[in-house]
Structure 1
Amino acid sequence: MVDSTIKILSIVLFLGFVSQGYSQCFLSDLSVSQIQTGVKMQGKPEWNVTITNNCSCVQKNVILSCNGFQSVEQIDPSLLKISPNGCLVNDGQPIYTDAIKFKYVWNQSFPLNPISSEIACS
């Protein structure tokens, strides 16, 4: 009796850990990194932005803070759509583990921090 109780408890704990590992995703799992490319346009440095989802679940309708964002170089609006309330990434489409990348040109880097997303785990 004790042996079967231990087995059942072990299985329940194992399933709890497995399900927690696959469904616990947060906005903080989105990472935004920026580096200068070394290219200059109109005397301003070009910045390469990489947005990565570090979770197994997808995140969609990702909005970044982008107050005052400007660029000399045009950005594909399907990658970054600028609005007064924030910047929509990837046209709202899901971001899987593949990174979203774009470039912009300005005097300094802008703080492009994730402010909202919809997380979907299957």
Structure 2
Amino acid sequence: MIKVKHPIERINLQQEDFLKSMAEKDRDYHSLLFSFGNAAYLYYALPIEPTLEDYDEWLEGLPEDSFKRDMKADGFEFCKNILPFTRYVREKNDIGMDRFIRDKMGEESYSKYKSIFDREN
């Protein structure tokens, strides 16, 4: 049911058990959520080597608000592990999250997920 498996087997088993406990009508929806979440997990697990230059560029592109001030105060070493910055570095290096997830899920499942998610928001 879950198209994109989590890299940790224990979590795969928990996800499958959860789906088995659900009403049949809800399984497809939750299976899509797990697939999307697992693909996102894999995306953020891709190895990258952010540079100080990446950090400076990223900060420059942030709006002048409390987030930017906090990220400046926290510094490069801290920010090397936060999702917005690591996504910026991946995107900058042509590793786009949307394309990565679509490739993992397959076009049909990804489109189905997007149609449900877009309708809910």
TM-score, with length taken from structure 1: 0.26
Q: Which has the higher helix share?
A: 2
